[in-house]
Chains A and B, each alone.
Chain A
Amino acid sequence: MEIIMSILAGILFTAGIYNLLQKQLIRIIIGTGLLSHGAHLFILTMGGLTDGKPPILTDHDSHNYVDPLPQALILTSIVISFGVTSLLLVLAYRAAKENETDNMDQLRGNDYE
C-alpha cells in the first residue's frame, strides 16, 4: 500500500507543479494547495501505514497503535499551510484588484527594478 500511496503523492506533486506553472494567479494557489496535500500524504506514508489502533489510549498494556508522531507533524503543517494559503489568496485578490489582471505574464516589476 505504501507504494501506491507514494505514487499517489507523486501524482499530487505533478498536478501541483503543473498548476504552479500556469498563468492565472488562482491556478497557482490551487497548485500550492495540491503540493501541501501531497506533502502531508508523503509524511503519513513515510511514518508507515501498518495496521494498528488509532493513537488514543484505551488499553494501557497494548502497544498496537499507529505512529502518533507523523500525525502531530501533519497537524502542525496543515494549520501552517492553511495560514499561508489564506494569506496568498487575499494577496492574489488584492494584486488582481490593484493591477486589474491576474495574468502572471503581465505582472512584472517596473523598469526600476
Chain B
Amino acid sequence: MLLIVLLPLIFAFFIPFINKRKEKIHTGYFVLAIPLVIFIYFARHLGTDFEPITQHFAWIPSLHISFDFYLDGLSLLFVLLISGIGSLVTLYSIFYLDKSERLGHFYIYLLMFMSAMLGVVLSDNVFVLYTFWELTSISSFLLIGYWHFNERSRYGALKSMLITVIGGLSMLGGFILLSNITGTTSIQGILSESEMILNHSYLPLIMGLLILGAFTKSAQFPFHIWLPDAMEAPTPVSAYLHSATMVKAGIYLVARMSPLFHGYDWFFIVVGGIGILTLCWASFLAIKQTDLKGILAFSTISQLGMIMTMLGIGTEVAVFAAMFHILNHATFKGSLFMIAGIIDHETGTRDIRKLGGLMTLLPISATLAFFGTFSMAGVPLPFLNGFYSKELFFESTLHGSEYSASFAMFIQHILPWLAVFGSIFTFIYSMYFVFGVFRGKAKIEQLPKKPHEAPIGMLISPIVLIIGVIVIGLFPTIVNSPLLAHAAYAVSGVHEEHHIAYWHGLDAKFLMSLAVVGIGTVLFMTKKKWETLYQKLPTRWTFNRLYDQFVTKIEPFSATITKGYMTGSLRLYTQLIVVAMFIVSIFTLVTSDGFAFLTADPSEIKISELLVAVMMVVAAIGTIVARNNVAAILILGVVGYGLSILFVIYRAPDLALTQLVIETITVALFLLCFYHLPKMKPKQDTVRTKLLNAAISIGFGTLLTLVAISSHSSKWFPSISEYFIETSHTLGGGDNVVNVILVDMRGLDTLFEITVLGIAALGIYSLIKIRRNKEVD
C-alpha cells in the first residue's frame, strides 16, 4: 500500500520531463493513468465480505513513527472518492486548462495533493497522518495560488494556509496528548483505549484540539471563511479539493476519532451544535452570493455542516447517513463545480446576474445541472440520491441518544427545526443556482463570449457523476452492503444494513421533506421581496473582517512591540541586561534561601588594608564624579595601583608585578586614545537618568557583594591547591608555584591567553592600518 500511496508523488518527479512535450500531447493524459490505477487497485476490495487490512513499513522505529496503513470501510470509502473523483477531475482539467498554462506545475501540485490525501485516510499512525495532513494544506495552498499573478488568488491561498495550518498544529497537539496518555501512536491502538481517555482529566483539551483541526480543515463555523476565497483556484481544483476531498479530511478525522468520544456529551454539543449552525448559516448566506462558485462554496460549507451534525449525533442511523451523504455530496457537488466551470469557460463570466436563459444554448449542461441541484436540494424524486441522505438526516435528528447534560438535551430538541430551516435555504439556493443560470431571458450580448455547448471531453466527467447520482438514486441499496455498511461499521462499531427505500409511508421525515420543498418553493418565488434582508446584515463584525483586521494589524502591532525595546540604544540594552540579571539572581537567592552570612573563619582586619580599600573606594567613585576625562583616566589608574598594593599585601608578587605594569600601559593607552578623541562637550544626562543609572548600578553592586559574602560563607570542600604546592617542586621542577601552574600544570590556559593577546595585537594593527578609502568607494 505504501507504493500505491506514494505513486502520485513518485510520478510527479517525471512530470517536468513529460511536460516538455505538452504542445503535442496534453500532460493531463499521462497523469490520468495514476488515479485510475489507484481506483482499480482499491476497487478490488469492494464487496460484502470485506475485512480490514493492516500493513506496516518502518520509518522512525525509535520514535514509534512508522508508515502503518489501515484499510477499513471508512478509509475505503474515502480512497475510492479520492481516486475516482481524481480521475474525473484530471480528465476534466485536460479540456479545461489550455496548453499555454503552466501544466507541469498544476499536475505536480495535484499529484502531491493526491498522495497526501491518500496518506491522510490510510495512515494508522497519528504522526504520519499529521505529516500527510500538512502536505494537503501545502498542496492546497499551491493550487489555490495557481494563478499567482492574481491578487485575489494570493490572498485566498494565504488565508486558507493560515487557517488550516493553525488547525493542523492544534491537531498535532491533540495527537501528542493522545499518544502520551495511551502510550501508542497507532490510531487503532488509541481507539481501543477509549475508556482510559474518557476518564482522563485532559479529555476536553484533547477533544478541543482535535476538533479545532477538523473544523478548520472542513470549513466549519467560524473557520468557514477560507473556503469562499479558495474559489480563486482553477475550477478542477475547486471541484476536487474544495468539494469532494480535502474539505472532507476534517469529516474523516471526526469520523475516525468518534469511537473515542462516543457517549461524551460535549462531543455531541460541539460537533452536532457547530455542525447544524454551519449548515444554517452557510445555506442562508449562499443566497446572497452572486458568483456561481461562491454559491457552491457556501453550499459545500453547509453540506459539510450537515455531515458534521450527523457525526455529532452519532447514532447508527446518523453515522450511516453521514457516510451516505459523503458519497452523495461528492457526486453532485463535483458535477456542479464542473458545470460552473463549463459556464465560466463558455460564457466568460461566473456572475449569476449576467447569466440567464442558457437552457437552449447549453442543453446538456443544463440537464446535468438540473439533476445535480435537485439532488442537492433533496427534492423527493426517486432518482436523486440527495433525497435519501437528506431523509436519513431528518430521521437521525429526530431520534438522537439520551444525554445527561441539559444543554445537550436542548440542542437535541431544536435540532429537527434547525435541520428543516437549513434545508429550506438549501432548497432555495439550489433553485437560485439552476434557474438563475438556465432560465429567464438570455442576455447574450452582455456576455464576454458567445455561448455554445462545451466540448464533449469536458462533459464526460460531469456526465459520469450525474449518472452516479441517478444510479444511486434509483437503486440506493447497491452501494449499501459493499461500501457504506463497512464504513458505518468502522465509525459506529455496529454492523448495520440500513434499508434505504424511497417510500416509507407518510411519516415525520417525509413530511419534513415535503415542508422543505413547499416552504422553499414559496420563499423562492417571493425571493425579490425578502432579499433586502441581506442588506441589513451587519458588515462590521463579520469573521472575514476579523481575519483581515487580524492579519493587517498583527504586523504593525509586533513592530510596535519590537521598536519599543529595540531602540538601537546600547545604553538601554545594558540597562535591561543588568536589571534582568539582578532580578533573576535576587529571585534565586531569595527562593533558594541561598544567602548566608558566616563570620567563623575570617582573616583579621588590618589598618593598612583598610586604608588601601578606602582609597580605592574614593577613587572608584571619583571616576564617576570627575568632570574631566583625563581626571577620570588618572583616577582609574589609582584604582589599578590600589589593587596591585592589595596584591602585595595578600602575598601575590607575580600579580602585583603584572598589575603594576599593565595598569601603567593601560593608562598610557587611555591617554593616547583620549588625545585623539574629538573635542566635544559631553551632554549631561538629566537627573532622572542619573538616578536610574545609579539605582541600577548600586543594585548590581549590592547583589555581587551579597553573592560574594554568601559564597565565601559556605565553603564545602578544601582547595586542591595543596596538591600544587606539594608537587610543584617534585613534578614541575620549580619553586614559584604560580608560574608552575601557569606553564606546567595548566599550560593550555596560557597558550590561549597568548593567542588572545596575539589576536588583539593583530586586530589593533588592522584597525589602524587597513582603511577603506571613501573616495574609491
Residues on A lying within 8 angstroms of B by beta carbon are 1-27, 29-30, 33-34, 37-38, 40-42, 44-58, 60, 63, 65-69, 71-72, 74-76, 78-80, 82-87, 89-94, 96-97, 100-105, 107-109
Which residues of B, 553-571, contact A by the 8 Å Cβ criterion? 568-571
B724 touches A33 (CB 8 A): no
Report chain A residues within 8 Å CB of B677. 25-26, 92-93, 96, 102
B623 touches A79 (CB 8 A): no
Does B411 reach chain A (CB closer than 8 Å)?
no
Does B214 reach chain A (CB closer than 8 Å)?
no
A68 touches B725 (CB 8 A): yes
Binds A, one of B93-101, B393-401, B471-479, B651-659: B651-659
Which residues of B, 745-770, contact A by the 8 Å Cβ criterion? 746, 749-750, 753, 756-757, 759-761, 763-764, 767-768
Does B191 reach chain A (CB closer than 8 Å)?
no
Given A4-B605, A21-B571, A69-B741, is A15 in contact with B621 using a C-beta cutoff of 8 Å? yes
| Complexed CA–CA distance, A57 and B711 (Å) | 29
| Complexed CA–CA distance, A46 and B693 (Å) | 28
B708 touches A89 (CB 8 A): no
With a 10 A CB-CB cut-off, give which of B599, B629, B725 has the most chain A CB atoms. B725
- B8 CB to closest chain A CB (Å) equals 45
| Complexed CA–CA distance, A34 and B623 (Å) | 9
Report chain B residues within 8 Å CB of A34. 620, 623, 636, 639
Report chain A residues within 8 Å CB of B501. none
Q: Write the B676-711 contact mask toward A (1 if CB under 8 angstroms, else 0).
A: 111010110100000001101110111011001101
- A91 CB to closest chain B CB (Å) equals 6
Given A9-B708, A72-B738, A101-B680, is A21 in contact with B575 using a C-beta cutoff of 8 Å? yes
B764 touches A86 (CB 8 A): yes
A87 touches B763 (CB 8 A): yes
Which residues of B, 718-733, contact A by the 8 Å Cβ criterion? 719-722, 724-725, 728-729
Identity of the chain B residue whose Cβ is nearest the Cβ of A27 in the assembled complex: B632
Q: Write the B617-641 contact mask toward A (1 if CB under 8 angstroms, else 0).
A: 1001101100001001100100110
Q: Write the B642-655 contact mask toward A (1 if CB under 8 angstroms, else 0).
A: 01001100111111
| 7 CB < 8 A contacts A-B | A5-B613, A30-B670, A42-B708, A46-B708, A72-B749, A75-B738, A87-B760
A14 touches B698 (CB 8 A): yes
| Complexed CA–CA distance, A52 and B721 (Å) | 13
B705 touches A93 (CB 8 A): no
Report chain B residues within 8 Å CB of A10. 701-702, 704-705, 708
| Complexed CA–CA distance, A100 and B728 (Å) | 54
Binds A, one of B178-186, B331-339, B661-669: B661-669
Report chain A residues within 8 Å CB of B773. none
A23 touches B680 (CB 8 A): no
A87 touches B753 (CB 8 A): no
B613 touches A105 (CB 8 A): no
Report chain A residues within 8 Å CB of B632. 26-27, 30
A37 touches B721 (CB 8 A): no
| Residue among A9, A33, A58, A101 making CB contact with B666, cutoff 8 Å | A33
Does B60 reach chain A (CB closer than 8 Å)?
no
- B720 CB to closest chain A CB (Å) equals 7
- A46 CB to closest chain B CB (Å) equals 6
A17 touches B711 (CB 8 A): no
Does B3 reach chain A (CB closer than 8 Å)?
no
| Complexed CA–CA distance, A60 and B680 (Å) | 60
Report chain B residues within 8 Å CB of A65. 725, 737
- 13 further contact pairs, Cβ within 8 A, besides A57-B735, A69-B724: A2-B602, A13-B700, A13-B704, A21-B696, A26-B674, A27-B632, A66-B652, A67-B721, A69-B721, A79-B757, A83-B756, A83-B759, A89-B670
Identity of the chain B residue whose Cβ is nearest the Cβ of A94 in the assembled complex: B767
Does B6 reach chain A (CB closer than 8 Å)?
no
B682 touches A14 (CB 8 A): no
A68 touches B741 (CB 8 A): yes
B682 touches A23 (CB 8 A): yes
A6 touches B678 (CB 8 A): no
Does B578 reach chain A (CB closer than 8 Å)?
yes
Given A29-B670, A72-B742, A103-B682, is A17 in contact with B753 using a C-beta cutoff of 8 Å? no
A44 touches B662 (CB 8 A): no
Report chain A residues within 8 Å CB of B674. 26
Which residues of B, 519-569, contact A by the 8 Å Cβ criterion? 568-569
A30 touches B623 (CB 8 A): yes
Given A18-B697, A79-B658, A86-B669, is A52 in contact with B616 using a C-beta cutoff of 8 Å? no
| Complexed CA–CA distance, A54 and B649 (Å) | 10
Identity of the chain B residue whose Cβ is nearest the Cβ of A102 in the assembled complex: B677
Report chain A residues within 8 Å CB of B570. 104, 107
Given A65-B725, A87-B764, is A80 in contact with B756 using a C-beta cutoff of 8 Å? yes
